[in-house]
Amino acid sequence: MVDRIGDLEAIATGPAVMIAASLLIYAAAKKLYARVPFPLLHPVLTSVAVIVALLSLAGVPYDEYRDATSLISFALEISVVALALPLYRQFAVLRRNAPEVATGIVFAAVVGVVSAVVPFLWLSVDPSTAVSAAPTSVTTPIAMAVSERAGGIPSLTAALVVVTGIAGAVIGPSVLKVVGVTNRVAWGLAMGAAAHGIGTARALARGELEGATSSLGLCLNGLLTAAITPLLLRLVLG
Amino acid sequence: MIVSFGILIGFHALGSVLSVLVVPMIPGNVLGMVLLTVALATRLIRHDWIEPAADLLVDNLAFLFVPAGVGVMSYAGVIAREWLPLSVSVFLSLIAVLIVTGRSAQMVARIAHRGDRPTGAEADPDG
């Protein structure tokens, strides 16, 4: 007899069902966030929570979901290459403000990685987790690639990056106000370097120049962090 | 759309080769981004050749990392054990990067643009 039950199970945990479900759950989460723009309801957080809950309820292990959605993971890898376009579009802004952008990014990359790793030296049971937390200020796909290269857990890195971005969009403007950052280039650069894409969305809401410099901060900090993280990890963790 | 995906994926492949052969500590897709930026700047690749795919991916970036984020379900144990350093790390690093980047860039901007025509960069739209 044909194994119909087995076939149906394979469809239920296969790419068609898993990718369709992920797309529709994310679309619903985005709609909810547009109605109720409360930071903790950020569509990435809510859709991850819903999918984790559904997989746990259905008893589907993460490995099966990961294999079924490998097409999306491939698109994520390609999206890093695509970041060349926003970088190219902001060339004029970069050229006009090169000294302050270069200074800000060097500080952002070094301070970002070191300050993310140091708490683990004092507080952690297992300092190897520090590797997963090292690149949390940069955009998710770059952070995941850096974490994987350095021996971290890319999924954990992705979750930390999203939390950093949301926290940055919420408290970033107040922090910058308290420390007296009023220059628009510096303001946007700081938001993009600290809170990547989610910070850039917030910066765009303040003005076009802030959005452009935030986008620059995102791309350049991602690039420099990818380049120096292996060295900084060796220096700090020994 | 077809050409633009072909170029992006091709640069991913180029970057991966470069990563394996020359700079193993930098991920292939990050090198692909650098190579493509250089190709755009030197007009080797025209920006409208890559725009359809690049805009599609960048505009929907947040969705693309949902499946990766779901992976935390496998690491509930790590998070339960390490929640304190993880939380301190996220907030310390966020606040440190905001302050250091904003202040250093602002300081250099004031020195570099002394005597420039006003560009509006000093204006504060939030008042």
Which of A48, A77, A85 to substitute to test the interface with B, most B CBs within 10 Å? Answer: A85
- CB contacts of A227 in chain B (<8 Å) are 25-26
Range in A49-58, A86-95, B117-126 the model is least confident about: B117-126
Range in A60-74, A76-90, A164-178, B110-124 the model is least confident about: B110-124
Token readout for B81 is 């054990």
Alpha-carbon gap: B16 to the closest alpha carbon of chain A (Å): 11
Instruction: Please tell me the predicted confidence (pLDDT) of residue B57.
Output: 92
- CB contacts of B82 in chain A (<8 Å) are 124-126, 129
Contact B57 A82 (CB under 8 A): yes
Instruction: With a cut of 80, say whether residue A160 has pLDDT above it.
Output: yes
Contact A189 B102 (CB under 8 A): yes
Alpha-carbon gap: A238 to the closest alpha carbon of chain B (Å): 17
CA distances for A19 relative to A11, A70, A84, A227, B9, angstroms? 12, 9, 27, 33, 21
Which of A81, A223, A224 to substitute to test the interface with B, most B CBs within 10 Å? Answer: A81
Contact A141 B65 (CB under 8 A): yes
ipTM entry: 0.87
pLDDT bracket for residue A49 (50, 70, 90): very high
Instruction: Locate the domains of chain B by residue range.
Output: 1-62, 75-115
Residue B7's Cα: distance from chain center in Å?
Answer: 19
Average pLDDT of every residue of chain B: 89
- CB contacts of B32 in chain A (<8 Å) are 80-81
pLDDT bracket for residue A173 (50, 70, 90): very high
Mean pLDDT of A93-122: 93
Look up the pTM and report it: 0.86
Q: Which residue of A has its CA nearest to B83?
A: A124
Count of C-beta atoms within a 10 Å radius of residue A6: 9
Of B15, B67, B104, the CB nearest to A103: B104
- d(CA A70, CA A67) in angstroms, rounded, equals 5
- d(CA A188, CA A199) in angstroms, rounded, equals 9
Q: A180 — alpha (psi -120 to 50), left (phi > 0) or beta?
A: left
